[in-house]
A and B are shown apart, each in its own frame.
Chain A
Amino acid sequence: MEWSWDHAYAVLPQLLKGLVITIEATIVASLIAYILGLAIAILKMSKSKTTRVSLYWMTEFIRRTPILVQLYVVFYVLPDFGIFLEAFTCGVIVLGVHFSTYTSEVFRAGIDNVSKGQWEAAKSLNYNPYQAWKYVILPQAIPPMIPPLANYLITMFKETPLLAFITVVELFRAADQYSNSYYTYLEPMTLVGLFFLLVSIPSAMIAMKLEKKFKPIKVAR
């Protein structure tokens, strides 16, 4: 089958609209993943063993099951309980919660990475816990976390096409709709692939620059 520029030009406006939705979904999902991930990391340091163990198994359950199935669960099951969410909202919540289990490991490793002596130093300076976090711990903990967190942002971007299957018209579904009406998969799918490469390869390069700059922590995934 021949490549047709007519199809390529015709599908482009829809794809750009889809790309905007994809990027919006990535940003919202990553915010959820970062905030929830930090919360999980802090809760996992809790003194209560029940909290730690139950959190461990909850996060492991989320990590060991496919995002696609989790999307179906939230999208199809919540309405049965009288909770009606837009498809986009369902999608970003699932993506965000799924990746929060990964980012929590980054936060935990980042905080563990600050040596014990720093806490003692903060204490000897008579800092209260707020001052210790603000002036001593976080400034040392955050920079090494940035590269792995940036990498998860790119990973989330690449998972967004799954939202297409709960009816979110993002990049992939925009192409799929065009394909179904004009019976050509070649141009729309190729362009979608190109769009993904065009966004994620430069982002990966930026992430690599960050790695050189910040000396990232090694995270056991």
Chain B
Amino acid sequence: MNEVLAFYPMLIDGTIVTIQLTIIGAIVALVISFIVGLSRISPYKSIRVAAIIYLEFFRGSSALVQMFFIYFVLPMWGIYFDAITAGVIACGCNVGAYGSEAVRGAVLAVDKDQHEASKALNYSNYEKYRYVIIPQAIPIMIPTFGNLLIELMKLTAVCSLITITDLTFVAQIIRVQTALTLEPFLVILVVYFIIASILVKIVDLIAKKFSKGRNVMTAGDK
């Protein structure tokens, strides 16, 4: 075990890379979730169809295949990404597809009366979504987003396969250099677990903050 812990500078670097991938991937996924999720309820058919194609494409194939496609196949068409960018794009686009369903579901879960109330207030379509519908939809989305955040964090381990030196990659280096197997993997499993548990706590706090003073409908009530 001490031999493995002697590699602590590398382990810390790997942890930082994993956290970076998670955070940037989460931002990409969040933006995509809202764009695609709201496009699904657009009045224009072409936008809805485009969103469905995006959704089925990224949800239908494996994240690993998407990542290899972006990193190894796109360069053959002259589109180059460095490993980190490719990893973040693949993670973000994949999880974003799942997130878009959460956004759509939450927006549709907002009561019909709210739409009528906005109409009575003479709100434009933009004002209706900005001030009435989305603020009520966000607390409904948060639990699903929390689960997706953990899935995203787990997905970043796959980025090690396209040469990103994240935790998993570091563990492989330590395994090769020390010929130890159990210890390096045990250490990173614990680190992953700690990161995930912190994320769970943060999401719980956010959920509490957003549901303050609101009668939040959970998925079970619907």
Residues of A near any B CB (own CB < 8 A): 1, 60-61, 63-70, 72-73, 76-77, 80, 158-162, 165, 172, 179, 184-186, 189-190, 192-193, 196-197, 200-201, 204, 218, 220-221
Contacting residues, chain A, for B66 (C-beta < 8 A)? 193
Complex Cα gap A70–B190 (Å)? 12
Other-chain contact of A158, B61, B69, B182, B186 (Cβ < 8 Å): B61
Complex Cα gap A70–B157 (Å)? 11
Q: Which of B60, B182, B196 has the most C-beta atoms of chain A within 10 angstroms of its own C-beta?
A: B60
Contacting residues, chain A, for B61 (C-beta < 8 A)? 158, 193, 196-197, 200
Q: Mark B130-144, 1 if CB is under 8 A from A, else 0.
A: 000000000000011
Q: Which of B81-109 contact A (CB under 8 A)?
A: none
Contacting residues, chain B, for A192 (C-beta < 8 A)? 65
Q: Would you call B56 an interface residue if the criterion is a C-beta within 8 Å of the partner chain's C-beta atoms?
A: yes
Task: Enumerate 8 A-B pairs (CB-CB under 8 Å) in ascending A order.
Answer: A64-B193, A66-B153, A80-B181, A158-B61, A165-B161, A186-B76, A189-B72, A218-B219
CB atoms of B62 and A185 under 8 A apart: no
CB atoms of B219 and A64 under 8 A apart: no
Considering the complex, give the chain A residue whose CB is closest to the CB of B77: A1
Other-chain contact of A161, B64, B175, B192 (Cβ < 8 Å): B64
Other-chain contact of A220, B60, B160, B182, B219 (Cβ < 8 Å): B219
Complex Cα gap A69–B189 (Å)? 7
Contacting residues, chain A, for B73 (C-beta < 8 A)? 185-186, 189-190
Other-chain contact of A76, B57, B77, B181 (Cβ < 8 Å): B181
Contacting residues, chain A, for B156 (C-beta < 8 A)? 66
Task: Sort A-B residue pairs by CB-CB distance and give the 9 closest, nearest first.
Answer: A66-B157, A64-B196, A196-B61, A1-B76, A66-B154, A185-B72, A76-B181, A158-B62, A161-B64
Complex Cα gap A68–B167 (Å)? 12
> Could you tell me the dominant secondary structure of chain B's interface residues?
helix
Q: Mark B51-81, 1 if CB is under 8 A from A, else 0.
A: 0000011011111111011001100110000
Q: Mark B183-215, 1 if CB is under 8 A from A, else 0.
A: 001101100110011001000000000000000
Contacting residues, chain A, for B181 (C-beta < 8 A)? 76-77, 80
How many Cβ-Cβ contacts under 8 Å join chain A to chain B? Answer: 116
Complex Cα gap A76–B56 (Å)? 35
Complex Cα gap A93–B82 (Å)? 34
Q: A185-B73, A204-B59 are in contact. List 13 more A-B contacts (CB 8 A).
A: A65-B193, A66-B154, A66-B192, A67-B157, A69-B171, A159-B62, A161-B64, A179-B72, A185-B72, A186-B73, A197-B56, A201-B60, A218-B219
CB atoms of A77 and B182 under 8 A apart: yes
Complex Cα gap A155–B97 (Å)? 14
Question: Separation in Å of the A76 CB from the closest CB of chain B?
Answer: 4
Question: Separation in Å of the A215 CB from the closest CB of chain B?
Answer: 12
CB atoms of B222 and A218 under 8 A apart: yes
Complex Cα gap A67–B132 (Å)? 40
Complex Cα gap A213–B196 (Å)? 36
Q: Would you call B42 an interface residue if the criterion is a C-beta within 8 Å of the partner chain's C-beta atoms?
A: no
Complex Cα gap A142–B51 (Å)? 33
- CB contact under 8 A between A64 and B192, given known A158-B63, A189-B65, A193-B66: yes
Q: Would you call B114 an interface residue if the criterion is a C-beta within 8 Å of the partner chain's C-beta atoms?
A: no
Complex Cα gap A189–B193 (Å)? 32
Question: Separation in Å of the A163 CB from the closest CB of chain B?
Answer: 10
Q: Would you call B168 an interface residue if the criterion is a C-beta within 8 Å of the partner chain's C-beta atoms?
A: yes
Complex Cα gap A201–B158 (Å)? 23
Complex Cα gap A196–B56 (Å)? 11
CB atoms of A65 and B160 under 8 A apart: no
Question: Separation in Å of the B145 CB from the closest CB of chain A?
Answer: 12
Q: Would you call B147 an interface residue if the criterion is a C-beta within 8 Å of the partner chain's C-beta atoms?
A: yes
Q: Would you call B150 an interface residue if the criterion is a C-beta within 8 Å of the partner chain's C-beta atoms?
A: yes
Contacting residues, chain B, for A65 (C-beta < 8 A)? 154, 189, 192-193, 196
Other-chain contact of A221, B77, B147, B185, B196 (Cβ < 8 Å): B147
